[in-house]
């Protein structure tokens, strides 16, 4: 078993990982599965102690960790919550994750906080605000963060950038890294009738340090067209696996997370999804132009 100190300078290996769920704490510790890393939502571990921290500490001693935030409201039109940043920094100091990521979204309004990750218009004003917030986060934490592309359902009429250009400009101005959520690419491109291959081809892939995969729900809109909802409650779809395979050919092997946050499956079913990603990483990733450091 490794001590936490062993991972002080480590990054996340270019392998498959899964989101850590309380339902799987015990079986992970008892069976020590061969897995690249685990990822947790930062907000689930901002309390001081208790069983969640006890289990996470034990698992962190054995595995690299990626920390994924859902509550910073990077795209919000009010100042970042300083108390939230303090709690986030304490968590990073405590667990020393190899990567930290957040969403291109907003979730705060006046004094309220919403559970949803809401989209932002791609305008010059929004760009300046998001960049200012990312600069503040990276300076406060003393490290680079990754920004995740969103799952979107509608386009704002006031947008003057397309999504890929907007993400690229943020990364260029702030020097943040990027998290490529391939499921979100498929959802946004289906809902807005974009070409997913063109999206991936134009995405600034050299800045991508982690990939996410997840399942979605398919409904139809009032014109009877497919409407995909980012539900994270089922296996990764065949279309997303195909797009992931093409993406990894372009990026090389990168840490890849299976996100499954609702209707959490058995450990064996979740692990089988990670094994499938690992097979693609070995096959397609070895032919790509670059690899993350293990």
* CA–CA distance, 128 with 147 (Å, rounded to integer): 15
* CA–CA distance, 16 with 279 (Å, rounded to integer): 9
pLDDT in tens, 233-259: 999 999 999 999 999 999 999 999 999
pLDDT in tens, 160-194: 999 999 999 999 999 999 999 999 999 999 999 99
How far apart are the two ends of the chain, measured CA to CA in Å?
A: 17
Task: Grade residue 293 by pLDDT with cuts at 50, 70 and 90.
Answer: very low
Is pLDDT above 80 for 231?
Answer: yes
Q: Which residues of 221-238 are buried (b: 16+ CB within 10 A; e: fewer)?
A: eeeeeebbebbbbebbbe
For the whole model, what pTM was predicted?
0.92
Is pLDDT above 80 for 290?
Answer: no
Please give the C-alpha separations between residue 240 and each of 59, 133, 216, 245, in angstroms, as whole numbers.
Answer: 29, 31, 10, 8
Cβ 257 vs Cβ 97: under 8 Å? no
């Amino acid at each position: 078993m490794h001590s936490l100190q062993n991972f002080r300078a480590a990054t996340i290996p270019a392998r498959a990982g899964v989101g850590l769920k309380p339902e799987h704490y015990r079986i992970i510790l008892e069976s020590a599965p061969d897995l690249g890393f685990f990822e947790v939502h930062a907000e689930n571990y901002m309390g001081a102690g208790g069983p969640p921290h006890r289990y996470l500490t034990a698992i962190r001693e054995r595995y690299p960790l990626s920390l994924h935030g859902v509550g910073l409201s990077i795209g919000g039109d009010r100042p970042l919550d300083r108390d939230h940043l303090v709690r986030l920094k304490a968590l990073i100091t405590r667990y020393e994750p190899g990567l930290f990521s957040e969403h291109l979204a907003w979730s705060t309004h006046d004094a309220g906080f919403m559970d949803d990750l809401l989209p932002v218009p791609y305008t010059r004003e929004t760009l300046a605000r998001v960049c200012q917030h990312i600069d503040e986060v990276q300076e406060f934490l003393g490290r680079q963060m990754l920004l995740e592309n969103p799952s979107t359902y509608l386009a704002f009429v006031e947008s003057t950038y397309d999504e890929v250009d907007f993400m690229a400009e943020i990364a260029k101005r702030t020097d943040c890294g990027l998290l490529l959520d391939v499921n979100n690419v498929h959802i946004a491109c289906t809902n807005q009738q974009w070409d997913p291959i063109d999206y991936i081809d134009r995405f600034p892939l050299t800045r991508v340090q982690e990939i996410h995969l997840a399942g979605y729900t398919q409904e139809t809109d009032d014109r009877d067209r497919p409407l995909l909802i980012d539900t994270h409650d089922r296996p990764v779809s065949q279309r997303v696996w195909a797009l992931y395979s093409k993406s990894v050919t372009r990026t090389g092997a990168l840490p890849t997370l299976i996100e499954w946050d609702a209707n959490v499956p058995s450990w064996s079913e979740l692990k089988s999804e990670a094994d499938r990603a690992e097979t693609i990483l070995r096959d397609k990733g070895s032919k790509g132009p670059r690899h993350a450091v293990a």
